[in-house]
Structure 1
């Protein structure tokens, strides 16, 4: 090891010695890696040779140990929160994910999840996976293969399911308020009676999904594929369905008050006994239904 590879740091008055390899290899996209990549001039104290960083040095040893060994320390919730703040400052994405997955890390709303992302990954390696009634609120489950998993009656508030494969998963009577299903695969999923208020489902594939009696108030379905989905008696108040494909969807008895159906494809949709009064405020397709395709839609008994 050459002397030039040694780095002396003064973090808020606490001094540390490490190497450029430690600071650049594990997290190559971090701020620390950028500082010591050789592309930037770093100012040293001419007397001590230390580089000063104006941050609290209390947890910097944990950051160095993470960069050296890839190990998440075991800390109290308060210390995890402080370490997370430092990890975010230094843009250490791996450490941030590790802290958020730590078993004792509490979510900001004060609730404890029953399982972590790592627990979920281990569980889905089994043939039949059931998380019935489990509290998973706030977890990042994006990009995982969760097809056919049973989440019924679970608490899934603010869970990140973006780009996850959830085909044939069971979400019956779940509380998934505010969850993120952006670009997720949800074909043939069961959502009967689910609370999805405020959920993001833009770009999601919901073909043949069952959303009967679901609360879909304020949901965002922009560009979603809902072909042949079942939405009987679902509450779509204020939902944004702009550009969604609703071909062959069953909306019998659904509530569409102030729903945005601009550019949506409603060909062969079943709209009998649907209240479209607030969706069609001027009895024409001039506002929320601008550009919507209604070829072959069954509008018998619809209130217009």
Structure 2
């Protein structure tokens, strides 16, 4: 059905993969206004939905096992206590599907909390040390350093060399990482949301479970990297080079790869990405803008 104009107090009945829920427009739209759920029920867009004939339930074809946790997040901003770690991975996938960026970041933080506490004890430098080094030496290299668990968000880290460094669970959100080298770095669980990574390098890097939501990776070089479970939701990878990398369960939904060169990559993992028109080039493909094809 086409969504009708709804009041904030309106009751919404949802059928998520056979699991039925009742909530309000206010709950679905207020906490995460840029999410898919907010877009569906705010009235900003006329989105077509399937309607369950029983009592007017709106049907969404997803696993509803964890949807109650999503509703509780939207109501109270709470991350649930789940018995098994794998359940958080399942919840994370649903949060990414519904584009709940706040919940996604909180799950990452929750999963890495204990690891962060341990890693911070082992980290060789602090955030203040990093800032002081940058101020004193613009060409500072952190090759091989253990910086695990540090919060480096919103720093200007341009041209820094993090090759071979341990960057597990480091928060780079909002950083300027232009021309930064992450070659052979262990950045598992690192957060790069809203970061600028123009012309950055990721040769042989471990980026398992890393988050690149809304990141800008124009002209980035990603070669033989582990991108398992990575989220590139709405990321910009224009003119990037994507070679020989493991993209198992990676999320490229609404990502832009126009102008990128894709080689030895399973294109099934790029479902939902803007690939334009794939043109064969050497042993790979160039994702060209359809307007440039004559």
2:170 aligned residue:
159
CA gap of 1:234–1:141, structure 2 versus 1, over 3 A, is same
TM-score, with structure 2 as normaliser: 0.55
Instruction: Kindly state the Cα deviation for residue 134 of structure 1 after the two structures are TM-superposed.
Output: 0.2
Q: Do the aligned partners of 2:277 and 2:288 also contact (CA within 8 Å) in 1?
A: no
Instruction: Kindly state the Cα deviation for residue 269 of structure 1 after the two structures are TM-superposed.
Output: 4.4
1:206 aligned residue:
217
Please, which of 259, 267, 272 is the counterpart of residue 276 of structure 2? 267
Residue 234 (str. 1) matches residue 268 (str. 2): no
Matches within 5 A, 1:185-264: 185-256=196-267, 259=269, 261-262=271-272, 264=273
Question: Whole-Å Cα distance in 2 between the matches of residues 261 and 293 of structure 1?
Answer: 16
Please, which of 79, 92, 108 is the counterpart of residue 117 of structure 2? 108
Residue 170 (str. 1) matches residue 181 (str. 2): yes
Q: Do the aligned partners of 1:213 and 1:234 also contact (CA within 8 Å) in 2?
A: yes
2:13 aligned residue:
none
Question: Whole-Å Cα distance in 1 between the matches of residues 160 and 266 of structure 2?
Answer: 29
CA gap of 1:211–1:270, structure 2 versus 1, over 3 A, is farther
Question: Whole-Å Cα distance in 1 between the matches of residues 229 and 289 of structure 2?
Answer: 23
Deviation sequence 1:26-58 (CA, Å, 0-9, x none): xxxxxxxxxxxxxxxxxxxxxxxxxxxxxxxxx
CA gap of 1:193–1:167, structure 2 versus 1, over 3 A, is same
CA gap of 1:116–1:271, structure 2 versus 1, over 3 A, is farther
Instruction: Kindly state the Cα deviation for residue 265 of structure 1 after the two structures are TM-superposed.
Output: 1.5
CA gap of 1:138–1:271, structure 2 versus 1, over 3 A, is farther
CA gap of 1:294–1:167, structure 2 versus 1, over 3 A, is closer
Residue 140 (str. 1) matches residue 181 (str. 2): no
Deviation sequence 1:235-271 (CA, Å, 0-9, x none): 11111000000001111111345x2522x21125456
Deviation sequence 1:72-105 (CA, Å, 0-9, x none): xxxxxxxxxxxxxxxxxxxxxxxxxxxxxxxxxx
Larger radius of gyration: 1
Matches within 5 A, 1:34-45: none
Aligned length, in residue pairs: 175
Please, which of 99, 123, 129 is the counterpart of residue 119 of structure 1? 129
Q: Do the aligned partners of 2:259 and 2:288 also contact (CA within 8 Å) in 1?
A: no
Q: Which has the higher helix share?
A: 2
Question: Whole-Å Cα distance in 2 between the matches of residues 296 and 261 of structure 1?
Answer: 21
Instruction: Kindly state the Cα deviation for residue 295 of structure 1 after the two structures are TM-superposed.
Output: 3.9
CA gap of 1:203–1:230, structure 2 versus 1, over 3 A, is same
Structure 2: gaps of 5 or more residues: 1-114
Instruction: Kindly state the Cα deviation for residue 225 of structure 1 after the two structures are TM-superposed.
Output: 0.4
TM-score, with structure 1 as normaliser: 0.53
Helix, strand or coil for the counterpart of 1:156?
coil
Structure 1: gaps of 5 or more residues: 1-105, 276-291, 299-304
Helix, strand or coil for the counterpart of 1:211?
strand
Question: Whole-Å Cα distance in 2 between the matches of residues 252 and 297 of structure 1?
Answer: 21
Question: Whole-Å Cα distance in 1 between the matches of residues 184 and 271 of structure 2?
Answer: 26
Q: Do the aligned partners of 1:249 and 1:270 also contact (CA within 8 Å) in 2?
A: no
Question: Whole-Å Cα distance in 1 between the matches of residues 277 and 219 of structure 2?
Answer: 14
